[in-house]
Amino acid sequence: MPRSSLKDNVYAYISSLIDRNELSAGDRVSEQAICSEMDVSRTPVREALIQLAAEGYLDNEPNKGFRVRGFDRQNAEEVFEIMGALDGQAAFLACPRLDDDTLNQMRFLVGSMDLALENGLVRRYDDIQRDFHNTYVESCGNERLKSLIAQSSRCFIKKEYETVDRAAACELLRKANDEHREILRLFEHGDATGVRRYIRDVHWNIENAQFTVW
């Protein structure tokens, strides 16, 4: 397997450890343990750790190695401000490009999120909402913007809303899916300026940043 693919696999593996709470803020990341677990050399492990540190998820401490940094309220609010602007601009560019098939796919995803919440499947909802946003981001026609959004999205290495109980999470996410419905309505009406403003100022409101802290 090419080195870049090995590095990406290691990156995904470490991310999954954080996602499953097997690594928490302050925990040291053992390079040797990862090498042994994945049966890979130190090079792709080191490359993945350096990338995670560069993106703000790990601290690289001299002579001590890498530790999980965590994601505090200030970090979350800063990312929300960035994502609101980027995601809103992607929607603005995508709006005149969306065809009926794409809009139908987005309608299907909104309905699927409703079903996930009816069954209390918070993590499933999270996966579907990412698909919803990616549907129009992929249609924006700006590769650099898509790359910036993907990079900022990696900050949400932990699943959203896991800091509150399931009932409260479902209530918050029902409100979020109502916002998805409004985003879809604005796309259906071809309101590029309106959808950009709504995504930036409402959907990515920094008040919601508290639920992504870990």
pLDDT of residue 211: 67
Chosen domain end from 68, 102, 118:
68
The residue from 68, 90, 124 where one domain ends is 68
Whole-number pLDDT of residue 79: 86
Amino acid at 51: Q
Reported as a pLDDT band with limits 50, 70 and 90, residue 100 is very high
Q: What average pLDDT does range 97-122 have in this prediction?
A: 95
Instruction: Identify the residue with better confidence: 168 or 2.
Output: 168
pLDDT tens digit string along 25-84? 889 999 999 999 999 999 999 999 998 888 778 888 888 889 988 777 887 888 899 999
- Verify that 154 and 178 share a domain, yes or no: yes
Whether residues 16 and 121 share a domain: the answer is no
Q: Is 91 exposed, middle or buried (0-12, 13-18, 19+ CB in 10 A)?
A: buried
The confidence score (pLDDT) of residue 177 equals 95
Q: Do residues 56 and 90 both lie within one domain?
A: no
DSSP letter for each residue of 22-60: SS-TT-EE-HHHHHHHHT--HHHHHHHHHHHHHTTSEEE
Q: Are residues 106 and 195 in the same domain?
A: yes
* CATH code of the domain covering residue 54: 1.10.10.10
Query: What pLDDT score does 164 carry?
Result: 56
Q: Which helix (H) or strand (E) holds 93?
A: helix 73-94
- The reply to whether 157 and 132 lie within a common domain is yes
Model confidence pLDDT, tens digit, residues 190-202: 999 999 999 999 9
Q: Is the pLDDT of residue 19 over 80?
A: no
- Residue 213's pLDDT is what? 55
Count of the separate structural domains present in the chain: 2
The answer on 93 and 197 residing in a single domain is yes
120 and 166 in a single domain? The answer is: yes
pLDDT at position 61 = 87
Examine the domain organization and report whether 25 and 100 are in the same domain: no
Tokens for 59? 């601290």
Could you tell me if 129 and 83 lie in one domain?
Answer: yes
Average pLDDT over residues 101-127: 92
Domain containing 61 equals 3-68
Give the mean pLDDT of the chain: 87
**What region does 70 belong to: left with phi over 0, alpha with psi -120 to 50, or beta?**
left
Predicted local confidence at residue 20, as pLDDT: 73
pLDDT at residue 165 tops 90: no
pLDDT band at 133 (very low <50, low <70, confident <90, very high): very high
Question: Within 10 A of 163 (CB to CB), how many other CB atoms are there?
Answer: 13
Neighbour-count burial of 71, counting CB atoms closer than 10 A to its CB (0-12 exposed, 13-18 middle, 19+ buried): buried
Same domain, 88 and 155: yes
Two tokens at 113? 């999120």
**Does the structure show a pLDDT above 60 at 214?**
no
Instruction: Looking at the structure, tell me whether residues 80 and 166 fall in a common domain.
Output: yes
pLDDT value at residue 167: 74
CATH number at residue 86: 1.20.120.530
